[in-house]
Structure 1
């Protein structure tokens, strides 16, 4: 379902620049037609390779329209923030209804399309639960509102949750505090090869929540990972966000060990080079472009 949501962003969203990257990063996590996903501020910064200030500004811009809203009555794993793409949800509901009558029906989005009501019980299977002491009613669109500060006895785990708006901009683009344990660095952005890139916790959670771990099994997922690294061994170094997007696109196309693998080998796909859908190819190309050195670095 994340593919359909990303396709909506590519084809129908009015967002631009960093706001578009932020919206794509959230859409990439959507597990079903409700278009709800959780994401920490840290993960959005890392996946977009933008500064903390830029991501917050992008969220404010998205909140000014009707393409993104914060569901402050809910929280994801490790108390992460939960978002919804309401216009995407309305369009997908419209498409599904049209296809029930005619499988070949074509639908166009409209601002008049009603947004479907949330089904909280479906969200729970993806680790999204109502906050205690709330009625789980979504707030008005305000995704940059800071969560209440943690108590002294139970602080937030480090690198999780929705950060407050004050404080320093600690990002991959902050030259004064570069990332460590990376062999390549350009313009403050840490680069690494595909063979050295490590699967991050967000990507691991994505594979489990999207059902790829159950579909491929532990050994099948490891085999798919090894195959991906072999095919990407000669690629130029990229940022962690670009490798994560490319790895996810590969895993989506990987077939279970008991079925023939038709799309995992580059050049075999039915839609785009490398077996990617158009939306996946757009995403991988855009993220890769953000990581390429421009030649103007100091």
Structure 2
């Protein structure tokens, strides 16, 4: 489902620059058609390789134009902020409704008038399997407080279970959103994270787990995954060095769009259209152009 949310960002979002990278980072963590995901400012800074101020400004702009919505009554693990992509949710609902009877039916482009599905009580309960709960003290759910705690003392919430995060409905492993960012190749904090060229970045355990749990390893096979990784490194050889988190996010986006060697094009998301020339899909061309543009100083860096 995160691939469908990312596709909406690529094809229909009006965001640009850092705001677009922030949108893609949040969309990458969407687990189902509600288009709800949690993210911390720190993780968004690491994924976008932008300053904290730039990320906050981007979130404010995206919320103002209605492309994201902060769900104040919900919170993710470690009290992280919960976001929703309402226009993406409306688009996915439209696609589902149109293709319910005819899988090959043409879907009209998204419009401002497309209704956004409600997050009713049952739907919000379903978000709990992704580590998203009502905030303590809200009317939409029970308190998540240790019964031994006192009202006058500090909050003594039960800690989130290790590696708890967005999980697929039938799987035990982590889903598209993990509580921890990839730790390999990283030598410092988010404000001073080391950067490396693409060919020096190594596939971290979280990315390999992600590829297996989302079916990309089964779809491509070990040899196909290695070939896709080699092609990614070839295309990224001329890019400026980036943090491990930024390379991991870019690598996952590439692998998600890599065609199966046995069924070319079978996993291309709806509406992606024919691939452009030059050996890159449309999404890959978008990614290359966007990251290349961000390599140029804009004068807004901290």
Change (3 A) 1:205 1:117: farther
| Alpha-carbon displacement from aligned partner over 1:213-270 (angstroms, at most 9, x marks no partner) | x6637xx67x6665455445552353135422332134325689xx94757xxxxxx7
Give me the whole-angstrom Cα distance separating, in 1, the residues matched to 2:47 and 2:249. 8
Contact 2:3/2:256 (8 A) holds in 1? no
Provide the secondary structure at the position in 1 that maps to 2:139.
coil
| Alpha-carbon displacement from aligned partner over 1:49-100 (angstroms, at most 9, x marks no partner) | 2110111111111121221111223233343221101111112212221222
Give me the whole-angstrom Cα distance separating, in 2, the residues matched to 1:69 and 1:206. 26
Give me the whole-angstrom Cα distance separating, in 1, the residues matched to 2:254 and 2:133. 30
Instruction: Tell me which residue corresponds to 1:44.
Output: 44
1:238 maps to which of 234, 241, 255:
241
Q: Is residue 111 of structure 2 the alignment partner of residue 110 of structure 1?
A: yes
Change (3 A) 1:200 1:34: same
Give me the whole-angstrom Cα distance separating, in 2, the residues matched to 1:14 and 1:293. 22
Instruction: Tell me which residue corresponds to 2:197.
Output: 192
1:179 maps to which of 161, 181, 193:
193
Instruction: Tell me which residue corresponds to 2:147.
Output: none
Provide the secondary structure at the position in 1 that maps to 2:91.
helix
Give me the whole-angstrom Cα distance separating, in 1, the residues matched to 2:8 and 2:252. 19
1:125 maps to which of 113, 129, 139:
129
Give me the whole-angstrom Cα distance separating, in 1, the residues matched to 2:46 and 2:89. 26
What's the offset of the Cα at 1:8? 2.2
Give me the whole-angstrom Cα distance separating, in 2, the residues matched to 1:47 and 1:171. 10
Instruction: Tell me which residue corresponds to 1:88.
Output: 88
Structure 1 range deviating more: 232-241 or 61-70: 232-241
Give me the whole-angstrom Cα distance separating, in 2, the residues matched to 1:84 and 1:255. 29
Give me the whole-angstrom Cα distance separating, in 2, the residues matched to 1:204 and 1:130. 31
Contact 2:18/2:50 (8 A) holds in 1? yes
Q: TM-score, normalised by structure 2?
A: 0.64
Give me the whole-angstrom Cα distance separating, in 1, the residues matched to 2:156 and 2:101. 56
Change (3 A) 1:289 1:260: same
1:1-150 pair list within 5 angstroms: 1-102=1-102, 103-118=104-119, 119-136=123-140
Q: Is residue 301 of structure 2 the alignment partner of residue 287 of structure 1?
A: no
Give me the whole-angstrom Cα distance separating, in 2, the residues matched to 1:76 and 1:280. 30
Contact 2:87/2:116 (8 A) holds in 1? yes
Give me the whole-angstrom Cα distance separating, in 1, the residues matched to 2:75 and 2:97. 29
Give me the whole-angstrom Cα distance separating, in 2, the residues matched to 1:32 and 1:276. 27
Give me the whole-angstrom Cα distance separating, in 2, the residues matched to 1:58 and 1:207. 29
Q: Where does structure 1 lack aligned partners over 5 or more consecutive residues?
A: 138-149, 162-169, 173-177, 181-189, 264-269
